[in-house]
């Protein structure tokens, strides 16, 4: 049951638009502030050199940011395996998350955050995957993470059904709080 999931290319265009807006608005505000401070100080010379450098830097950083997003879209992957998920992204080592280590799932606007015994929100299934892939993967993770919890009650039910006189003795499988409540009654 190995399957590889990648980021949806349509979201890359949204990232491009956000980068252009971020650096474009930052550039306009910066240029406006430079002209305003020059005018407020009543400086005769115009700040064209400063404004030019500012625009060049903003274009450079915007282009660099977009190139990093392209690299992320091309190299990011989530691999579904029988026993867990492997996440690979540029600039970071691959990380493996066994389904048995999942303690909590939390849905957010970014995607499905996965908490483990090691900490909260240590792994994410991003909503930047294709919609059908995201839904499929979230369903599988929810199913796999609930499987151990569903198996435990079945063992307790089998022990309760057994009519053995030794059952009265406390064992590790019995719940001590439940036994204490039975004694109080």
- Note the pLDDT of residue 65: 96
Domain assignment of residue 15, yes or no: yes
Please give the tally of structural domains in the chain: 2
- Note the pLDDT of residue 171: 41
Are 120 and 60 part of one and the same domain?
Answer: no
State the pLDDT confidence band at 111, using cuts at 50, 70 and 90. Answer: very high
Are 58 and 118 part of one and the same domain?
Answer: no
Are 87 and 58 part of one and the same domain?
Answer: no
Least confident interval from 31-35, 81-85, 136-140, 165-169: 165-169
Each residue of 81-105: pLDDT tens digit? Answer: 999 999 999 999 999 999 999 999 9
DSSP secondary structure of 18-87: HHHHHHHHHHHHHHHHHHHHHHHTT-SS--HHHHHHHHHHHHHHHHHHHHHHHHHHHH-EEEE-SSEEEE
Answer whether residue 112 shows pLDDT above 60.
yes
- Note the pLDDT of residue 156: 46
Domain of residue 50 covers 8-75
Q: What is the pLDDT of the chain when averaged over all its residues? A: 82
Closest-CA residue to 81 (of 96, 92, 103): 96
Domain assignment of residue 173, yes or no: no
Q: How far is CA 137 from the centre of its chain?
A: 13
**What phi-psi label fits residue 141: left (phi over 0), alpha (psi between -120 and 50 degrees) or beta?**
alpha
Are 94 and 60 part of one and the same domain?
Answer: no
For residues 115-137, give the mean pLDDT: 92
Answer whether residue 43 shows pLDDT above 80.
yes
Least confident interval from 30-39, 106-115, 136-145, 156-165: 156-165
- 68 class by beta-carbon count within 10 Å (0-12 exposed, 13-18 middle, 19+ buried): middle
73 backbone dihedrals φ, ψ, rounded to 5°: -65, -35
Least confident interval from 16-20, 41-45, 166-170: 166-170
Closest-CA residue to 90 (of 70, 106, 112, 61): 70
Are 90 and 71 part of one and the same domain?
Answer: no
- Note the pLDDT of residue 129: 95
CATH, residue 136? 2.30.29
Domain assignment of residue 102, yes or no: yes
């Amino acid at each position: 049951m190995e399957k590889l999931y990648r980021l949806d290319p349509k979201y890359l265009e949204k990232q491009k638009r956000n980068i252009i807006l971020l650096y474009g608005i930052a550039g306009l505000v910066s240029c406006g502030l430079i002209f305003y401070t020059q005018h407020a100080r009543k400086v005769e010379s115009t700040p064209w050199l400063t404004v030019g450098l500012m625009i060049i830097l903003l274009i450079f950083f915007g282009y660099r940011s977009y190139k990093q997003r392209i690299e992320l879209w091309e190299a990011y992957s989530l691999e579904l395996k029988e026993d867990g998920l492997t996440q690979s992204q540029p600039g970071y080592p691959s990380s493996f998350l066994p389904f048995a280590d999942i303690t909590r799932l939390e849905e957010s606007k970014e995607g499905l955050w996965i908490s483990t015994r090691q900490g909260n929100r240590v792994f994410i299934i991003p909503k930047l995957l294709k919609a059908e892939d995201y839904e499929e993967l979230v369903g599988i993770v929810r199913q796999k993470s609930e499987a151990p919890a569903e198996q435990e009650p079945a063992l307790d039910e089998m022990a309760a059904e057994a009519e053995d006189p030794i059952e009265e003795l406390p064992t590790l499988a019995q719940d001590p709080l439940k036994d204490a409540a039975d004694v109080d009654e």
